[in-house]
Amino acid sequence: MLPISSSSPFERWLLQRVLSAIGQAPIRLALKGREAVSPNGTRPVATIVIRDLPTLFKLILNPEIGLGDAYSEGSVEVEGDLVAALEAVYRSWPSFRPDAWLTRRKAQWLERLKANTPRRSRENVHHHYDLNADFYRRWLDRELLYTCAYFPTPSATLEEAQIAKMDYVCRKVQLQPGETVVEAGCGWGALALHMARKYGARVKAVNLSHQQIVFARQRAREEGLADKVEFIEDDYRNISGRFDVFMSVGMLEHVGLHNYEEMGRVIHRSVGDSGRGLLHFIGRNWPAPLSAWIRKRIFPGAYAPTLRQALEVFEPWDFSVCDVENLRLHYARTLEHWLDRFERCTPEISEKFDPKFVRAWRLYLAGSLVAFRVGTLQLFQVTFAGFQCQRIPWTREHLYAAQQPQVQGPKWTHAMS
Amino acid sequence: MLPISSSSPFERWLLQRVLSAIGQAPIRLALKGREAVSPNGTRPVATIVIRDLPTLFKLILNPEIGLGDAYSEGSVEVEGDLVAALEAVYRSWPSFRPDAWLTRRKAQWLERLKANTPRRSRENVHHHYDLNADFYRRWLDRELLYTCAYFPTPSATLEEAQIAKMDYVCRKVQLQPGETVVEAGCGWGALALHMARKYGARVKAVNLSHQQIVFARQRAREEGLADKVEFIEDDYRNISGRFDVFMSVGMLEHVGLHNYEEMGRVIHRSVGDSGRGLLHFIGRNWPAPLSAWIRKRIFPGAYAPTLRQALEVFEPWDFSVCDVENLRLHYARTLEHWLDRFERCTPEISEKFDPKFVRAWRLYLAGSLVAFRVGTLQLFQVTFAGFQCQRIPWTREHLYAAQQPQVQGPKWTHAMS
């Protein structure tokens, strides 16, 4: 370790500017080998060490992308707990709070500029989801679910919580044996297979990721479910056929605001006025783009809508919103598990990926964890039904009955009777 | 009864026009004393008897207001089940389904034209809620709750279901002893008193109806709760003070679209970033005004928003939507009870009110029942929390635990920890 020397007045002034810009978050900020600065009267939770003046300038000129890239490259290090440091920043940084007009407009402009055409959607999906399944298998649960889990109790394991999530969404739509389901954005196929295996449903599952579809088809064959679950490599816009249930867990984030009308049309075409369904997606309290770094390096084309924006999918089609649940704390917990597993398998991952990749993913997982914990991001499950749907449960109590091996029929309400 | 004579070709043509306009609903339509017409191939559920040709013309020229007024005046009679007849019409009438652009625009124009200024709000509230409590007492539950009840099972009594509703909303906001609540639109005070009596809360309850406030204050004194519940005759826009919880059951319908921003401001002023609350309101799947007759005769200034529109209250203030539940079938059941009680006490009501009033109220209750049963109207309960709120339950399971005399503390999540 180099001996600590004192910073120049100019360096201290620059560091103080950065502290101001992030709302005097309780962290120490230092140029490598120099004395740190921290906001007066706070108890710093960690130290962010910046390698040199050029890196510091980059951070000042472009804070969001600059910080992400600098951390990935190792020119910014965090001494202490990365999650605690990020949490301190998220809770203090004014730009993570709504500044009304400008943030809203910016979110909308960005959305319009980068329309998710079918071609661009394919590229975006390839960027993230076509990474080898071996990589994800190291830190996801056994079933390879890459979406928010549902922890019946905070101490449930990740494996339990992912199974519980699959049962929870099936119960929310009251899936019955013999019913048909279309799933838009099916990942590695766990939910589609679960719906067929445990609920006796017939499932058509659509996904743009070639790698994931190949993997899912293989699983279906191995489990002898290939006749009940059809995995199709295609865009959700091309879904055809008629189904009882529309299910989508973790895809709306990749659809983009300007396609919600089209998304609604696809859903209505799929389930009509008598069907029902569920959308599970990352959202926000107020309209804003995702972090510029996330959009650039991790999820190109992604947008997390407010609940109000997401309802544009349903309103033109006379769908009833039956139930909305915000599970953001469950996503924070899910990410705690993912990050913990990721850290533990870093040596193996580092054999196949360069250090920059590993650091970028660590930052992405830690930053997402903090965003859900702090409330910068939300996780919504929206259950909906066509206006002629007869499957409206009398109450939600059946969701919380003791878990049964088979879903129990709730008291049906014949809305049309 | 007059002997039935055959209709003239012109009369039959007119009646067929009306049947067409209401989408060939399975009902018989007849001029008094004349032969009825009904759509081919249907099994009519009731007969609508129109007194004379002038009445028929009125119905054709102005169907919504015409029908309501003609029924109230007795120039239109329903032979058979009024609810079944209305249900047949609601299910068939095309104008009860979205015709997208025009209906949306119409709803917005109407809303802008009739802005609910504080003065107009006062007049509107007076029109409906300042009717003598004796009138409402005859057909509401013992606690005088004039909003959708919550029936844990469909066979619960109305009294049980209204108590259950009060407990349900208190549990949804996790009301704790010693907490402060502001209630906007408190009716005759039942919920405010319940929150104080059963949950140990201190409540400020605001209502524009003079009669209701006088009544509620008297109850508070009689129950010895006057030191815990303050009833104030005022507009919600004048609410002042700081509270843990904002509660409003059945008031948003009277606020009007153009005041949602103000409503959000009032809520944020009342509970800040760390508070929470619940809005319970009549809504719709797609934007449309309430029936013209309801707006003219029953609820001037009322508007039932879509969930998307209602969320305009929360979004500018960084409130998180925690939970949304659609209870429209519970409102249909509530209205079945109200209508049944109303019918049984018609003789007593008729001693104080003229027949036109009684018939108008019967139509209003029956029409509302059908609107909730069919899905023309929805009932939303939205639970929300400021972004710094620490009272976010881990799951919703605690809502369905066996009813306790005192609310049980759920597993708290310290979102800020």
Q: Is residue A333 within 8 Å of residue A158, measured between CB atoms?
A: no
Q: Is the pTM of this model over 0.90?
A: yes
Cα A191 from Cα A198, distance rounded (Å): 10
Q: In this structure, what token pair is assigned to residue A287?
A: 């309209």
User: Number of A:B CB contacts under 8 A?
Assistant: 119
Cα B69 from Cα A316, distance rounded (Å): 32
Partner-chain contact B285 A315, CB within 8 Å: yes
- DSSP string for A119-133: HHHHHHHHHHHTS-H
pLDDT digits (tens, 9 = 90+) for A189-217: 999 999 999 999 999 999 999 999 999 99
Indicate if the pLDDT at residue A261 is higher than 50: yes
User: Does A84 lie at the interface with B, CB-CB under 8 angstroms?
Assistant: no
Where does the pLDDT of residue B417 fall: very low under 50, low under 70, confident under 90, or very high at 90 and above?
very low
Cα B382 from Cα B281, distance rounded (Å): 9
Q: Is residue B278 within 8 Å of residue B173, measured between CB atoms?
A: yes
Q: Which one is predicted more confidently, A64 or A158?
A: A158
Where does the pLDDT of residue B315 fall: very low under 50, low under 70, confident under 90, or very high at 90 and above?
very high
Cα B44 from Cα B81, distance rounded (Å): 11
What fold, for A113-400? Answer: Rossmann fold (3.40.50)
pLDDT at A405: 44
Q: What are residue A248's DSSP bridge partners?
A: A279
Q: In this structure, what token pair is assigned to residue A77?
A: 């290090």
Strands A46-50 and A28-31: parallel
In chain A, ranges of CATH 3.30.1050.10 domains = 9-92
Taking 3-state DSSP, the helix, strand and coil percentages for chain B, each rounded to the nearest 5, stand at 50, 15, 35
User: Does B104 lie at the interface with A, CB-CB under 8 angstroms?
Assistant: no
Where does the pLDDT of residue A134 fall: very low under 50, low under 70, confident under 90, or very high at 90 and above?
confident
CB nearest to A318's CB, from B97, B312, B320: B97
pLDDT digits (tens, 9 = 90+) for B39-87: 998 899 999 999 999 999 998 888 888 899 999 999 999 999 999 999 9
> Angle A375-A380-A382 (CA atoms, 0-180°, nearest 5)?
160
CB nearest to A324's CB, from B285, B321, B397: B321
User: Does B99 lie at the interface with A, CB-CB under 8 angstroms?
Assistant: no
Alpha-carbon torsion A10, A16, A20, A21, what sign? positive
User: Does A402 lie at the interface with B, CB-CB under 8 angstroms?
Assistant: no
pLDDT at B106: 62
Q: Is residue A139 within 8 Å of residue A372, measured between CB atoms?
A: no
Q: Which CATH superfamily is domain B9-92 in?
A: SCP2 sterol-binding domain (3.30.1050.10)
pLDDT digits (tens, 9 = 90+) for B25-41: 999 999 999 999 999 98
Residues in B 221-280 with any Cβ partner in A closer than 8 A: none
In chain A, ranges of CATH 3.40.50.150 domains = 113-400
Q: Which one is predicted more confidently, B207 or B415?
A: B207
Residues in A 297-326 with any Cβ partner in B closer than 8 A: 306-308, 311-312, 314-316, 318-326
User: Does B84 lie at the interface with A, CB-CB under 8 angstroms?
Assistant: no
Burial (0-12, 13-18, 19+ Cβ within 10 Å), A344? exposed
Q: Is residue B68 within 8 Å of residue B360, measured between CB atoms?
A: yes
Who contacts A351 (Cβ-Cβ below 8 Å, separation ≥6)? none
Task: For residue B319, give how far its alpha carbon lies from the nearest alpha carbon of chain A (Å).
Answer: 6
Q: Which one is predicted more confidently, B333 or A107?
A: B333
Cα A48 from Cα B242, distance rounded (Å): 39
Cα A287 from Cα A412, distance rounded (Å): 37
Where does the pLDDT of residue B414 fall: very low under 50, low under 70, confident under 90, or very high at 90 and above?
very low
pLDDT digits (tens, 9 = 90+) for B159-212: 999 999 999 999 999 999 999 999 999 999 999 999 999 999 999 999 999 999
User: ipTM exceeding 0.85?
Assistant: yes
Taking 3-state DSSP, the helix, strand and coil percentages for chain A, each rounded to the nearest 5, stand at 50, 15, 35
Q: Which one is predicted more confidently, A120 or A293?
A: A293
Q: What are residue B34's DSSP bridge partners?
A: B5
Burial B270-294 (b: 16+ CB within 10 A, else e): bbeeebbbbbbbbbbbbbbbbbebb
Question: Can you tell me the mean pLDDT for A318-342?
Answer: 98
* B109-117 contacts, C-beta under 8 A, 24 or more apart: B110/B289, B110/B295, B110/B303, B111/B256, B111/B257, B111/B258, B111/B289, B111/B303, B112/B258, B114/B256, B114/B300, B114/B301, B115/B256, B115/B258, B115/B259, B116/B254, B116/B255, B116/B256, B116/B258, B116/B259, B116/B301
pLDDT at A301: 86
Phi, psi dihedrals of residue A232, rounded to the nearest 5°: -125, 130
Secondary structure of residue A87 in the 3-state scheme? helix
Where does the pLDDT of residue B356 fall: very low under 50, low under 70, confident under 90, or very high at 90 and above?
very high
pLDDT at B124: 76
Indicate if the pLDDT at residue A111 is higher than 90: no
Residues of chain A above pLDDT 70, percent:
90
Burial (0-12, 13-18, 19+ Cβ within 10 Å), B119? exposed
Question: Can you tell me the mean pLDDT for A65-74?
Answer: 93
